[in-house]
Structure 1
Amino acid sequence: MALSLAVCAFPLQAADTPNPDRAEFNALSPVINALIQAEGPVELMERAEALEDENVLQAIALYIAASRERPDSLASYKAASLLARRGDDEAAQIYLEIADENGVLFPLQLTENPDFDDLRQTPVYLAALAKAQRIYDAISPTLVGATGGVLHPGAGAPPAACHPVVVWLHGYGINGFMDEGFQPLADTGAILLGINGTELLDTHTSFRWSSDGFEQTHVAVQKQLEALAKQECIDPKRVYLMGFSQGALHGGALLAQHPEAYAGALLISPGGRQPNPTTSKARGKRVVVINGEQEGPGNLQRADAFRTLFGSGNEVQSRVHDGEHEFPDDWQRSLPAALRWMMESGG
C-alpha cells in the first residue's frame, strides 16, 4: 500500500472557523508525500518542477532534497534560482556555489535567468559565470553548429549518382540527432543532415539557434555541407531546408536571404523570439508551411507571414493540422510527401 499523508483526516470544523493545523498540513503534505513516495532524485525534481508555479517554497524544499540525494548541479541550481526569485539572496548564493562545485553550468543559464538579477555583481555569481564561460569556450567548438546526425536513403529510395540533401534544423532546446523515425524522410531519396544549433543552452545536448540574426546559422549549415561533400556525392543545387519551431524560423530566413544556396524549405510551426524576415530574394523556389490550428497567436502569425513572404515568385503549399505546436500526427507520411513535392522541382 502506497504511503501517503493525503489520507490523514482532521476533525470537522465550522466552515467559517480557520484551522491552523489543517493550514500547516496543506502546506507540508505535498512535500512530505513527495519525500515518501518519490523513487529517487529524478522523481523529486519532476515533482518540484510541477510545483514551481503553484508553491515556490514547496518546490525549493524538493529541489534541496534532490540535491542532497544526488549532488549534481541542476537541483542545486534550481533551488538557487527560486531562492533568488524570493529575494533570499544569501541562501541563493549558497546553493549557486554548491551547483558550481558539483557540476557544469553554462553561461546562458546564468546570464539569461532574471532570477539572478540582484546577484550579478556578487563574488559567487561572478565566479560561477567565469567558470561556466571557461568550460563553454573549451567544449563549444566541437558541439555548436556540428553535425548531429546523418541518415541515408534506404534500399527502396530513388537511385541517384549524387543525392539531394535535406538539412534538418531542430527546435529550441534539443539537437541535430535524428532517430530511426526520420528514416521515411530519407527514403524520399535525400540525405538528411541534422545540425546542432549555434548556441549551447544548459547541457551538452541542448542547443538553440543564434538569437542575433541568422547569419551564424547559414555559416554553420554551409560548413557541415562542405564536410558532408567530402564524404558523399551530393547535389549542391538541391539542398533543402527543413525546420521546426525556431529551426523553421531560421530555415525560412536562410531561404529568403541566401536563395543561391538553398532550393526550397519545409517550415513546420515557425517560432522563436526573433522577428520574421520581411524581405525575400527567393524566386522560383518551392516552400511548404505547416502549422497547428491550436498554436498560440504569435506562431500562427509567423506561419502566415512566411506564406505571404514567399507567396510572390515562388510556389507555396500550405497546411493547417488540428494539433498544437508539434508535428502533425501523420508526419511520417505527410512530411515525406512534402519533400517529394519540393524535390520534383529540381531546385
Structure 2
Amino acid sequence: MTNRSCAILFAILSLLAPPLTAAEPTPRQLADQFDSAYQSADWARAIDLAEQLATTDAGAVIGAYNAACAHARAGHAEESADWLLIAAQRGFTGIRSLEEDADLEPIRGTEKFARALALVQANADKRFEEYKAVATETEVLTITPDAFDPGVPSPFLVVLHGSGGTPEPLAELYKNIANELGMVLVVPAALRPWGDGFGWTYRDESEWMVLHLIDRLAESHHIDRGRVYLAGFSQGANVTLSVGLKHPDKFAGLFPVSGHYEADAMPITDCANPPPVYLMVGARDPFVQTFRDAVEPLEKAGFPVRLRILQGIAHEYPKRPDPELRKGFRFLIEERNESP
C-alpha cells in the first residue's frame, strides 16, 4: 500500500472513530472552579459550575447551596430560593451559614427561605445529636505523665489536629513537653472524614467536643479544671481560638499554631481573668498576617499575648519542636502564675 493510500485510510478511520472527549471534571475540581468564579464575581459561570456540582453524588448538597448563593448574587431571587430549598431537602446542615451568609440577604425575608431555615435547623439538630452519640462512645488518645497520681489533680492539655489530620502525629509532638510539665495529654480525632484524616467541619461540634473532653477527663483522670490548656495546629488552631475566646474562663492558656485568626468568626467573651495566649506561626505561613492582626484585639480584651514568628518556617512545626513548645508553655504558665 502506498503512503498516500495509508494516509487516505487513516483519514477515513479517523472520521469513523468516536471523537475524543475531555475527562469530566471531578467534584473537587468543580468546587475549586466555582470558588474562582465566585471570587471574580463571574456569576453566570459560578451558577453553571454550582449546578454541575449539584448533579454529582459528592457535591449534591454543597452544590445546591452554592447555586443558591450565586443566583442570589446575580439577582435571581426565585432561582436562589428554589436551590436553597433543594439544599435543605438534600440534608444541608450549615445552620450558622444560613443565618449569617450575607449573600442570601435578597431572599432572607421570603417564605421559601423560612421553610429552608426550618429544614436546615432540623437537619443540624439531627446531625449534632448523632455526632455527640458517636463521640461519647469513641476512645480518645490519652497519655498520662510519668508522675501521674490519680489521687492528685493534674493539669490537662487538649491538642487539636488540622484538617485532614489524625491524633497520632500531634501526640508524638506534644508527649515530651506534656510529660515534663506533668500534664495529662489528650488528642481527639475530629471524627468528620476529611481527606485521609478528619476535619473540624462544624463549629458547634468542635466546641462541644472540647468542653465534653474537659468534663470527661475531669471524671476519669481527676484533672484540675483550673489548669486546662488548649492547643491546636492549623484548623485545630482556629478551633483553639474560637472555643478559647468564647469560653476564656475554662482555660489556663491557649496555644494556637499556624492558624487563621478571623475576628468576625471568633467573638471574645468578657472574662475577669483572661488566659494568656501564645501565637506561634512560621514567617512563610500564608496566614502569618492574621496572627499579627490578632495581637491588638486580644490585648485590648485583657488577654496576655505573645506572638512567636519562626523564621524560615511555612505552614508547619519546626523540625525540633520541643524547644519552641517549651518556650510557649513557659510563657503561658508564668503569665498565669502557676506551676503545673
What's the TM-score bracket when you normalise by the shorter of the two chains? 0.5 to 0.7
Separation of aligned partners in 1, 2:130 and 2:328: 30
Q: Secondary structure at the match of 1:58?
A: helix
Task: Tell me the equivalent position of 1:151.
Answer: 141
CA contact (8 A) 1:291 1:303 kept: no
Over aligned residues, Cα RMSD in angstroms?
A: 4.2
Q: What does 1:1-347 align with in structure 2 at a 5 Å threshold?
A: 36-54=22-40, 55-70=42-57, 72-141=60-129, 143=131, 150-153=140-143, 158-162=146-150, 163-168=154-159, 178-183=166-171, 184-187=173-176, 188-189=178-179, 190-194=184-188, 205-208=200-203, 223-236=212-225, 238-243=227-232, 244-245=237-238, 247-248=240-241, 250-251=243-244, 254=247, 258=249, 262-268=251-257, 271-272=261-262, 273=264, 274=266, 281=273, 288-293=278-283, 295=287, 299-303=291-295, 306=298, 309=302, 318-322=307-311, 326-330=315-319, 332-334=321-323, 336-338=325-327, 341=330, 346-347=339-340
CA contact (8 A) 1:288 1:338 kept: no
Q: Secondary structure at the match of 2:63?
A: helix
Q: Which runs of 5+ in 2 are unaligned?
A: 1-20, 191-198
Separation of aligned partners in 1, 2:147 and 2:98: 50
> Which structure has the highest helix share of the two?
2
CA contact (8 A) 2:255 2:328 kept: yes
Deviations 1:210-250 (A, max 9, x none): 9xxxxx96x97555322223333434454222252352365
Separation of aligned partners in 1, 2:314 and 2:117: 33
Instruction: Measure how far apart 1:88 and its partner are.
Output: 1.1
Separation of aligned partners in 2, 1:266 and 1:319: 11
CA contact (8 A) 1:246 1:270 kept: no
**Given the superposition, is the C-alpha separation of residues 270 and 278 from structure 1 closer, same or farther in structure 2, using an over 3 Å criterion?**
farther
Q: Secondary structure at the match of 2:221?
A: coil
Q: Which runs of 5+ in 1 are unaligned?
A: 1-34, 197-203, 211-215
What TM-score does the superposition give when structure 1 sets the normalisation length?
Answer: 0.64
CA contact (8 A) 1:264 1:286 kept: yes
Deviates more, 1:293-302 or 1:115-124: 293-302
Deviates more, 1:130-139 or 1:317-326: 317-326
Instruction: Measure how far apart 1:287 and its partner are.
Output: 5.8
**Given the superposition, is the C-alpha separation of residues 47 and 339 from structure 1 closer, same or farther in structure 2, using an over 3 Å criterion?**
same
Deviates more, 1:53-62 or 1:331-340: 331-340
What TM-score does the superposition give when structure 2 sets the normalisation length?
Answer: 0.65
CA contact (8 A) 1:44 1:62 kept: yes
Separation of aligned partners in 2, 1:135 and 1:82: 23
CA contact (8 A) 1:166 1:241 kept: yes
Instruction: Measure how far apart 1:75 and its partner are.
Output: 0.7
**Given the superposition, is the C-alpha separation of residues 249 and 120 from structure 1 closer, same or farther in structure 2, using an over 3 Å criterion?**
closer
**Given the superposition, is the C-alpha separation of residues 96 and 338 from structure 1 closer, same or farther in structure 2, using an over 3 Å criterion?**
same
CA contact (8 A) 2:333 2:339 kept: yes
Instruction: Measure how far apart 1:48 and its partner are.
Output: 2.1
CA contact (8 A) 1:289 1:307 kept: no
CA contact (8 A) 1:169 1:242 kept: yes
